Amino acid sequence: MRNLTLFQALLLLASGTPLSANWGSTAGGSVATGDFKSFGTGQVEMQREDLRIRLYRDRAKVEVDYALHNAGPATDVRAGFPSLGVLTPNETRHEIESYSIAADGNNVAFQTEKGDPKPLKALFDAKFLSLVDMVDQDHQADERNMLLEWFASTIHLAAGQTRHIHIQYDSLYAYCGGGYSDDGDDCDDRFAYELSTGAAWKGPIVSGAVTIEAVTVPAARLILFPAGRFKRQGKRFIWRFQNLKPTRADDIVVNLNNNSSTIAVYEAKSTPDAQNLSFYTAAAGRYFYLHSHFVPHGDAASPEFSAAQVASSIPDTEWHAPHVPGVGDGLSLEITKPEHADQVGIIPGCGTKELDWFVSARIKSVEVTVNGKYTRQAGLPDEFTFPWPESPKAYEWIDLPPYPGSANTVRLTIRSVYPGTVDQVTCIGKVMFRQWLTQKPDVQSGVDGHRLP
């Protein structure tokens, strides 16, 4: 059962502006500078900034290229990127992962330096604070367990020299969520990049471009700031500028506009190991019914990883295909309460942490057959996200082929896989069905009377 705690539903703490920023320093209004001190930036011009942001379901992959010109005598330049973090009972989570920096194609060392996270409370939005307030009336736990660190580097520029800096990293979205028991409310996921810290350099940014690409999130639902700056080209949004001395009004915020509200319904189990929950969810202006009314059948690599695991209420269990890498293997799902479904959701890999996810093979394409007759194939992106098994965000949702009446059986057949870095075992973590509803369901939580919005 998913009870509300301060840390449980957090990939990052705040649904306000995270701290991903231009390589620079505090000029322009960074919100929590701590002890970090930059130097040398005041005589170096940023002639070009090319920022590329690719949006996946639980993170953004960021690359940025700078052309820095030293307009004065030889100097060392020290600057840094800030990263928000949170201490949970079992681990430390950081906003920025897989950070690297290079100068003229050569890797540059970086050090992490502590900052002062106390001002971070100002980043919270009202919904997040209301969730925290349920378990922490004085809002002290957010400060005690937050951390801020800078990824700091030093590079040398000769007199008149221009150097090309390349930085890349993954940025976990700012996120909040919680609820009583198995009900839940999830905030919008957000990514932010503080362009304003670029004001630390001499003069304006001479020219720049920001490209935001919706890789595995719906492009049409994105809300971008600054408003009116970006021009859409399909799944990409592009902002080009010249001679910009950035301020806080130029900071980039991407709202994925994916908040949701869920009410759990407790039911009889179809098998002893099956989940006894179904869910009504409101998201993106629509209502959905999610359920696991099925008994799974299929061969497995071992009894420990049997087909029954995809319907289990235990989150870290999974089905392992009987062959390696599993192409042609699959599962048959016998619907215990035949009804129409619009989508099947699968967790198409092994493990509940990203560290484990890419070790084994993941499903690249799957064939879905309804009632032994109606078939379609679907390609899946190679990405990791696993908030918790009952969350719609955990699943890759696959449209079922058009079929009349109710679904009695659904067959999932693996057609291709992404290779693992260590082994080629292919897994399915969990399976769930989803039905689109034409009107708001008349349901409420049995715990606190919560209703869908």
DSSP 84-101: EEEE-SS-EEESEEEEEE
Contact 46, 205 (CB under 8 A): yes
Cα distance between residue 44 and residue 71, in whole Å? 6
Contact 18, 84 (CB under 8 A): yes
Cα distance between residue 2 and residue 390, in whole Å? 9
Domain range 260-437, CATH architecture: Sandwich (2.60)
> Residue 37 corresponds to which tokens in the numbers above?
């001190």
Cα distance between residue 192 and residue 112, in whole Å? 20
Per-residue pLDDT, 315: 78
Per-residue pLDDT, 168: 94
DSSP 177-228: EE-STT-EEEPPPEEEEBGGGGGGSBS-EEEEEEEEEESSS-GGG-EEESTT
> Where do we find the tokens 């004001």?
199
- Give the SS3 label for residue 356: helix
Q: Give the residue range(s) of CATH 2.60.40.3680 domains in the chain.
A: 41-255
> Where do we find the tokens 């869908």?
452
Strands, E assignment, 44-161: 44-55, 59-70, 75-87, 92-94, 96-103, 106-107, 111-114, 146-157
Per-residue pLDDT, 192: 80
> Residue 343 corresponds to which tokens in the numbers above?
């989508």
> Where do we find the tokens 């292919």?
426
Residues 6+ apart with CB under 8 A from 140: none
CATH class of 41-255: mainly beta
**Dihedrals phi, psi of 451, to nearest 5 degrees:** -120, 160
> CB atoms < 10 A from the CB of 266, how many?
12
Of 264, 270, 274, 203, whose CA–CA distance to 49 is shortest?
203
Cα distance between residue 106 and residue 91, in whole Å? 32
E strand or H helix at 164, and its extent?
Answer: strand 162-172
Give, for all 453 residues of the chain, the pLDDT tens digit: 222 222 222 223 333 333 444 544 432 223 333 445 677 788 999 999 999 999 998 889 999 999 999 999 999 988 887 777 766 555 666 778 889 999 999 999 998 877 666 554 444 455 544 544 443 333 344 445 667 778 889 999 999 999 999 999 988 887 666 666 777 777 788 888 878 878 888 999 999 999 999 999 999 999 999 999 999 999 999 999 999 999 878 988 898 998 888 888 877 666 666 667 788 999 888 999 999 889 999 999 999 999 999 988 787 889 999 999 999 999 999 998 888 999 999 999 998 887 789 999 999 999 999 999 999 999 999 988 766 666 777 899 999 999 999 999 999 999 999 999 999 999 999 999 999 999 999 888 766 677 888
The percent of the chain in helix, strand and coil, each rounded to the nearest 5, is 10, 45, 45
> Residue 171 corresponds to which tokens in the numbers above?
């940025």
Q: Are strands 319-320 and 427-428 parallel, antiparallel or unpaired?
A: antiparallel
Of 397, 445, 396, 451, whose CA–CA distance to 282 is shortest?
451
Query: Which residues share a beta bridge with 290?
Result: 279, 434
Per-residue pLDDT, 385: 77
Q: Give the residue range(s) of CATH 2.60.120.260 domains in the chain.
A: 260-437
> Residue 440 corresponds to which tokens in the numbers above?
């708001």
This prediction has a pTM of 0.82
